[in-house]
Chain A
Amino acid sequence: MDDAINILQNEKSHQVLAQLLDTLLAIGTKLPENQAIQMRLVDVACKHLTDTSHGVRNKCLQLLGNLGSLEKSAAKDTEGLAVRDVQKIIGDYFSDQDPRVRTAAIKAMLQLHERGLKLHQTIYNQACKLLSDDYEQVRSAAVQLIWVVSQLYPESIVPIPSSNEEIRLVDDAFGKICHMVSDGSWVVRVQAAKLLGSMEQVSSHFLEQTLDKKLMSDLRRKRTAHERAKELYSSGEFSSGRKWGDDAPKEEIDTGAVNLIESGACGAFVHGLEDEMYEVRIAAVEALCMLAQSSPSFAEKCLDFLVDMFNDEIEEVRLQSIHTMRKISNNITLREDQLDTVLAVLEDSSRDIREALHELLCCTNVSTKEGIHLALVELLKNLTKYPTDRDSIWKCLKFLGSRHPTLVLPLVPELLSTHPFFDTAEPDMDDPAYIAVLVLIFNAAKTCPTMPALFSDHTFRHYAYLRDSLSHLVPALRLPGRKLVSSAVSPNITPQEDPSHQFLQQSLERVYSLQHLDPQGTQELLEFTIRDLQRLGELQCELAGVADFSATYLRCQLLLIKALQEKLWNVAAPLYLKQSDLALAAAKQIMEETYKMEFMYSGVENKQVVIIHHMRLQAKALQLIVTARTTRGVDPLFGMCEKFLQEVDFFQRCFIADLPHLQDSFVDKLLDLMPRLMTAKPAEVVKILQTMLRQSTFLHLPLPEQIHKASATIIEPAGESDNPLRFTSGLVVALDVDATLEHVQDPQNIVKVQVLYPDGQAQMIHPKPADFRNPGPGRHRLITQVYLSHTAWTEPCQVEVRLLLAYNSSSRIPKSLWIEGGEMAPQVETSIEGTIPLSKSVKVYIMPKPARR
């Protein structure tokens, strides 16, 4: 450091000086504790502040910002150095002639603030002057500084120039930043719009001004379209807009009273939302959202503007405004005409927009029954136009119904098209639109006990059916004259007390406790339990993950028991060829299932992984035994034994911490006999393994807290087209694939698309990371293009498209273990060890035509 300072004193070149100061800055930041050094560096920086080059001054200010301190006590310790007020020094450079230095000065000031020094209030006035600077970077930084000061001294009072009034500093700053929303440079506009959102202390009077723009035409006051809409609504008439001049200006305005350039906050958001650059519009929408969340009255007022943003030309802006609306929806109730505009967006061809809107409708308050009806009609229209939105719409109607039971009640006869005297035709139960209506009604009926009286007979039948098939959408109802299905389920019981959860626990415990029953009984019990669990998973979607996970584990166990029960172990070699096939198949299936358990569920913890790996080890042992019995000759067996023992060794290394939990298990016994196995001949190894497999106990699989099965549905291609996709052979055709993924962790790396051609040729396609979108927690959406190509066919044929989950078991295990072991396992090299089918396959009809010459 001393060297650097010494060189600094003799150096002439500005560039070198700047670099040296940079070095000092780096040194200074590395030694935050050493006050003396910092003081010294600050001193050096102050000396060079008068340099003629902007680069040097820039660096000096940067250094001051990073190292300068306010504490006077520290200054006293370093005697000899004058007590310097860093803020004042930096403040002096606010009026430097070079804009870059001015920017650096403001940045340094912000840096001081970030480091926790309290800035003086006097800076505020200086910063305000910089707002009218010629250079955008200065203005942009100044806006930030003003914001910082306003957060520090929100309540202090500043005078308004040219009048005797005084206002709070935060209000004044708010006004100034609002003014910057109509700045000439869009960078500044974005900055200003963003910062507005975080000024929550501003008084509501100022806040509401931001949405106010006094309209006039030929000096006469005009009402905005929003005001007109509101009036028409309150007068009970719908907006016509049909008359020419229904926006005719009304009262005369006093010319003196009109202020064309408001110094205050007037119309800031009106301008921001109409800005040319979508960056500014998005920033304004975000700011609006934040302010509306803190002020309900403001939320009410900004509604009209947000609704307007639903028609923006850029999809991102539309999406953002819909999300914003959802966030503030607790504070607001939509008027009918607003709802109308909101619902119009349902026809948008972008799925993202529609889904966001469905989510918005889930938590919207509607004021009238007409509103509900309108929403339902529009949603049904949406459903016919885009059938893929089915689930999203049902979910939306579920919430709409449960939020507005009293508004739905008067609509019920109309919706169900019941008639007081005549029986009407029973609607088709599979019609998604009819289901949508029922979802709305049933959810409303949950809190409205008078509603079921209006149902006709078939409605009750349909209720029973839907309650069973779509239990997540249809709540339990207290129906007259029927069993009280609902008594069990009330929303306030915790999952542990939930009977279905209890059922799950009990059935699992029963299995685990009855491990020493006779083989026949165990098998039966397992089969029943698996069946129960599967059914449970279908009924209770929140338990589906756990149920499936446990069922899979039990199935593995069942397979293992069955394989071991085979008579093959007793009969002579030539006879059991067929049986051994069965056992081999079982081993293979267990392996697959274990991979599924390990990789297809999110939320699997280490203790489950141990059990899964243990199961896999057992499967491998089984494989070894069967192969040993069917193959003649010892040589291949040697290799297999060796490999198996390596696996055991590896298992031991990886899960050494968990071994105590595996008492009495297969591996426990195996490890006891390890020294013997290492030296034993293959035949002997096989024999030991065989006995051990039979003796090993059934391990208890602890249930993880949160477990979800990964799943995927291909929405597009729908696989219903009869028209083949024709293309010239040898060239490619792009197939749009649209799929939703649930509970897939890190889909960018593990989800693949597989295409199976009729000739058995399979192709794996890696989608780009950008093709995945994340619309919500645990949900992903894959929208990608798959390129198909083949040689010429004589007839159109179907190819299968499906999603795969690629896994690599070594990825879970720290690499260092492998290296320590000194053995290079082949799996490490290939990143994909195997794949698990993730979705059902979809058939696509294609026809590669021979190329014409």
Chain B
Amino acid sequence: MLLSHVVHTAATEVCFPSPLSVLQGEGPRASCGAGAGQDVGRSCILVSIGGKNVMLDCGMHMGFSDDRRFPDFSYITRNGRLTDFLDCVIISHFHLDHCGALPYFSEMVGYDGPIYMTQPTQAICPILLEDYRKIAVDKKGEANFFTSQMIKDCMKKVVAVHLHQTVQVDDELEIKAYYAGHVLGAAMFQIKVGSESVVYTGDYNMTPDRHLGAAWIDKCRPNLLITESTYATTIRDSKRCRERDFLKKVHETVERGGKVLIPVFALGRAQELCILLETFWERMDLKAPIYFSTGLTEKANHYYKLFIPWTNQKIRKTFVQRNMFEFKHIKAFDRAFADSPGPMVVFATPGMLHAGQSLQIFRKWAGSERNMVIMPGYCVQGTVGHKILSGQRKLEMEGRQVLEVKMQVEYMSFSAHADAKGIMQLVGQAEPENVLLVHGEAKKMEFLKQKIEQEFRVSCYMPANGETVTLSTSPSIPVGISLGLLKREMAQGLLPDAKKPRLLHGTLIMKDSNFRLVSSEQALKELGLAEHQLRFTCRVHLHDTRKEQETALRVYSHLKSVLKDHCVQHLPDGSVTVESILIQAAAHSEDPSTKVLLVSWTYQDEELGSYLTSLLKKGLPQAS
């Protein structure tokens, strides 16, 4: 007797080839600039699913300038080429902690397989890598770093994917991108082999902002959801209050003729704040100029203009009339503008006021209490940004100069990660069987893990660095059923009911990873085997002093009354049949008062046969 449902156990493995650094507080994932002492994580996850190996993200750590900067790729495979071991590499978005090690990985370690990323990521990623390379090599003089040519060669291996496009990496492995918010072109990826699937979120944002929409995924029910958990223990306030405060502060300062400095990183929040100010200027019909530092930002803005389908509803709907990234009020900044009189707003890089243009402008403007500096994100300890935020009013600059800060200092947190509620919302949307938390602090993850297990009743993992998690899955394996068998079954019963399992008799033939369910006759024919008849016989002793015929008759009448829906017959030779089961009564050779009932049935009637025996063993009712 075989069931049509076959359960197989397969395994999905997730490895972490490198120690995952952990993000502190509300830190920005710095994307460029001279990254001195930033505590930024480096994402790199290896997933083995259905025999396929996929590497998710290839990030770098900007806090180190030695070998710890890049993930330890020797962990993946001790010997042998990476290309042979990995089936593909997926990059979720262009932040350097998710793609920074890519040229090193593909050119210096050596990987020639496909690298998948979305189009905006493909466009912006090389700019950031080049910028980073320049700072690391040209300014700091680091050795053993990838070259411009390597970045170019690496980008040649990239395959672009569209949102919701299913890309067939090979015959079995397929990947699909979902919108993730966070930054332009950020995506979540579903990786699928057969019926097993894994969803990797990368970084994502569940609340829309001024230029990007919210992450969305369908009910794809993956076996595993790998989600970031930067804000595992935070529930954020409405974005509107923050925006309103920000606008109000800028507006007030500009109205009284002051200058506003907003130190930003070139990509991401900078564009959001630009849109925010641009629309506000438009709405309020303000005239004060807004400047944006040139260079990298200009290039990036160009790409933002091109990738309108990746932005939010408002920008997508209005871009026919006007592309929101074609700023009307925001112009390129020139060094000379910093000294010109009158109110203005300037976005300058880098974001933590530790070097470059933003620091220069800050030094010029710090002396007047009419001016204001707004820090839109987290600042690492030791930077000028951190000092002024913690209330320091006198700064020691290089050359023993002391800079007195009279200008107002404001802090605004604009961050594009999902908070605890957002993470829960995504888990609810995708309905995974298991959840794996990455990209966060262990302590915070512990809390979220507990919550996820409690609310969704799914198991949740939070592997440490270098740890491997192995999950067993119960994938359903498709089995072909012969039409003849199906029709026969259909004829027997009513229509199939989706809710109730049905028992089906047949033979499962497994032949070169091909499963078929056929009727036993056909199976015998195909395999060239002869059919064996299996018959069970059983003796039941009954205490009955009467003659054998009478006993048989009593058995007959008893069974007839009990088994109403079966065909019970009394044959002329004295035996009783129930369907195809034969019952014969004979006197016991030694004790004539005991009758022996011989019950015989075939394998197919096992159920009824055993029932009958047990029934008869209970004895016959006393004759009335």
Interface positions of A (Cβ within 8 A of B): 50, 52, 95, 97, 134, 182, 184, 213-219, 222, 224-226, 241-245, 247, 255, 258, 260-261, 270, 273-278, 305, 308-309, 311-314, 341, 344, 347-350, 385
Contacts and interface: CB of A to CB of B under 8 A. Distances in A.
A237 to B, nearest CB: 16
A225 B241 contact: yes
Contacts of B210: 313
Given A50-B495, A261-B428, A311-B243, 4 more contacts: A276-B312, A308-B240, A341-B244, A349-B284
Nearest to B241: A225
A276 B214 contact: yes
A213 B285 CA distance: 35
Contacts of A241: 245, 249, 410
B233 interface: yes
Nearest to A307: B244
A311 B247 contact: yes
A213 B217 CA distance: 24
Nearest to B427: A261
A242 B408 contact: yes
A335 to B, nearest CB: 15
A219 B242 CA distance: 21
Nearest to B408: A242
B368 interface: no
29 contacts: A95-B499, A184-B219, A213-B237, A214-B235, A215-B237, A216-B235, A217-B233, A218-B25, A218-B234, A224-B237, A225-B237, A242-B408, A247-B237, A255-B450, A260-B424, A261-B425, A261-B455, A273-B238, A274-B207, A275-B208, A276-B214, A276-B313, A277-B313, A278-B313, A305-B238, A311-B244, A347-B285, A348-B283, A349-B283
Interface string B396-417: 0000000000001111000000
Contact of A244 (B285, B389, B447): B389
B207 A216 contact: no
Contacts of B237: 213, 215, 222, 224-225, 247
B316 to A, nearest CB: 11
Interface string B442-453: 001001001100
A313 B314 contact: yes
Contacts of B208: 274-276
Interface in B327-354: none
A41 B428 CA distance: 43
A281 to B, nearest CB: 10
6 A-B pairs with least C-beta separation = A225-B241, A276-B208, A308-B240, A244-B411, A244-B389, A219-B233
A213 B210 CA distance: 22
Contacts of A255: 447, 450
Contact of A225 (B245, B279, B408): B245
B143 interface: no
B503 interface: no
Interface in B346-405: 375, 389-391
A314 B235 CA distance: 26
A588 to B, nearest CB: 48
A184 B206 CA distance: 11
Contacts of A214: 235
A260 B451 contact: yes
Contact of A226 (B236, B241, B282): B241
Using C-beta atoms within 8 Å of the partner chain, give the interface range for chain B: 35 or more
Given A348-B283, A348-B284, A260 B238 contact: no
A325 B214 CA distance: 28
B425 A182 contact: yes
Interface in B182-226: 207-208, 210, 213-214, 216-219
Given A97-B498, A276-B312, A217 B234 contact: yes
B168 interface: no
Nearest to B446: A255
A143 to B, nearest CB: 16
Given A217-B234, A313-B279, A348-B283, A274 B245 contact: no
A95 B219 CA distance: 18
Interface in B119-172: none
A349 B285 contact: yes
Interface of B: 25, 207-208, 210, 213-214, 216-219, 233-245, 247-249, 251, 279, 282-285, 312-314, 375, 389-391, 408-411, 420-421, 424-425, 428-429, 444, 447, 450-451, 455, 495, 498-499
Contacts of B420: 216, 260
B233 A308 contact: no
A142 to B, nearest CB: 15
Contacts, number: 119
Given A95-B499, A261-B428, A311 B409 contact: no
A224 to B, nearest CB: 5
Interface centre among A184, A258, A309 (most CB of B within 10 A): A184
A260 B219 CA distance: 20
Nearest to A249: B234
A311 B240 contact: yes
A347 B284 contact: yes
A216 B284 contact: no
Contacts of A213: 235, 237-238, 421
Contacts of B279: 313
B410 A242 contact: yes
A464 to B, nearest CB: 37
B282 A349 contact: yes
A242 B407 CA distance: 11
Contacts of A245: 411
Nearest to A308: B240
Contacts of B219: 134, 184
B245 to A, nearest CB: 5
Contacts of A215: 235-237
A245 B375 CA distance: 12
A276 B213 contact: yes
A224 B245 CA distance: 13
A52 B495 CA distance: 9
B391 A244 contact: yes
Interface centre among B240, B312, B450, B455 (most CB of A within 10 A): B240
B487 to A, nearest CB: 15
A95 B451 CA distance: 31
Contacts of B241: 224-226, 308
A276 B179 CA distance: 13
Interface centre among A217, A245, A255 (most CB of B within 10 A): A217
B567 to A, nearest CB: 29
B229 to A, nearest CB: 12
A379 to B, nearest CB: 15
Contact of A344 (B233, B248, B444): B248
A262 to B, nearest CB: 9
Interface centre among A182, A214, A218, A344 (most CB of B within 10 A): A218
Contacts of A50: 495
A218 B314 contact: no
A803 B165 CA distance: 55
A314 B314 contact: yes
A274 B425 CA distance: 14
B393 to A, nearest CB: 13
A523 B599 CA distance: 131
A632 B242 CA distance: 87
A350 B283 contact: yes
Nearest to A135: B219
B410 A184 contact: no
A242 B388 CA distance: 12
Contacts of B249: 241
Contacts of B244: 308, 311, 341
A184 B216 contact: yes
Interface centre among A216, A218, A309, A313 (most CB of B within 10 A): A313
Interface centre among A216, A261, A270 (most CB of B within 10 A): A261
Contacts of A278: 313-314
A216 B391 contact: no
Contacts of B391: 243-244
A128 B506 CA distance: 39
Given A276-B214, A278-B314, A216 B233 contact: yes
